[in-house]
Amino acid sequence: MPLNELQRDALGEIFNIGVGRAASSLSQIVSDEVLLSAPEVMVVHREQAAKVLLGAELNQFSTVSQSFSGPFDAQAMLVFPESNALEIVRLMVGPHMSIEELSEFEQEAMCEIGNIILNACMSSLADIFHIRFESTLPLHRFGDTYNLPILDGDEEQMVLLLQVDMIISQQRIQGHILFLLSVPSMSALLDHIDRYLSAQGLA
């Protein structure tokens, strides 16, 4: 179920509005400019998404996830390689520390950062499509690829995969946002995009 060019551009635009809002919230929190962009959006199968994540040289990850439900359901996940997550926490919260030293305190900070980014993406979708979602509170986990939720579950799930570039204090940090959708949820999302495009006179 690949995206056509119009659908991909529309999603790219919507998510960039979302991450842009998230960036201004994060900037306000740290009183420093935080830039966020989502340069690439694609729809892939679960295994391919895992491959993209594994493409990074490290296979230890920090994930923040929230389950959204509404006209379509999505399990959203912000994924950073562990070292990048540590870098974000260090830049936003304080001094350098190792994973073992990372206390609840910093994990909660990571959880909040994920919450801001994921909520911003989903509310951007909701605004544009005039729909509403409900969501669970965010959950933060450290883990390797073997216990990334993306690797198990329904074979039929599709993944909407966004690359995210975060810039804090001149440091560029890369990660991904994943939306796991069932096939019916994916086609509901595509219907919403098409309706939006035709309302814009674009399709």
Partner 1 sequence: MTERELDSIGIDLGSVIDSLQVGIIILDSERRIRHCNRWLTQRSGLAASAIDGRPLYEVFPEAHGSRLEQAVHHAIDDRLPSLLSPALHGTLLALYQTPGDRRHDRRMQQMIHVVPLSDKAQQGACLIQISDMTANISRERLLRQQTETLRRTTTQDPLTGVANRRKFDDVLASEFHKAQRNKLQLALMIIDLDAFSRYNTHYGRERGDVCLSEIAAALQDVVRPLGDLLARYAGDKFALILPGMDEREVCRLAENLRLRVGTLGIGNAASNTGYLTASIGVTVMQPSADADTHTLLSSADVALYQAKHEGRNRVVFFSAEDGSFRSYG
Cβ proximity to partner 1: between 56 and 129 the closer is: 129
- Distance, in Å, from the CA atom of 140 to the CA atom of 156, rounded to the nearest integer, reads 25
Which pairing describes strands 34-45 and 134-135: parallel, antiparallel, or unpaired? unpaired
Site residues for partner 1, 78-107, by CB under 8 A, read: 92-93, 101, 103-106
Using CB under 8 A as the binding rule, whether residue 36 contacts partner 1 is answered as no
Q: Which stretch binds partner 1 (CB under 8 A): 135-143, 151-159, 170-178, 195-203?
A: 135-143
Cβ proximity to partner 1: between 1 and 30 the closer is: 30
Using CB under 8 A as the binding rule, whether residue 126 contacts partner 1 is answered as yes
Using CB under 8 A as the binding rule, whether residue 33 contacts partner 1 is answered as no
- Distance, in Å, from the CA atom of 171 to the CA atom of 175, rounded to the nearest integer, reads 13
Residue at token pair 């994540």: 53
Residues in contact with partner 1, total (CB under 8 A)?
Answer: 30
Give the one residue of 111, 148, 178, 189 binding partner 1; rule: CB under 8 A: 111
Cβ proximity to partner 1: between 7 and 62 the closer is: 62
Give the one residue of 112, 145, 151, 182 binding partner 1; rule: CB under 8 A: 112
Give the one residue of 6, 9, 27, 29 binding partner 1; rule: CB under 8 A: 29
Give the one residue of 123, 145, 157, 182 binding partner 1; rule: CB under 8 A: 123
Count other C-beta atoms under 10 Å from residue 156's C-beta: 12
Give the one residue of 82, 138, 168, 190 binding partner 1; rule: CB under 8 A: 138
- Binding residues for partner 1, rule: CB under 8 A, are 25, 28-30, 92-93, 101, 103-106, 108-109, 111-113, 115-116, 119, 122-123, 126-127, 132-138
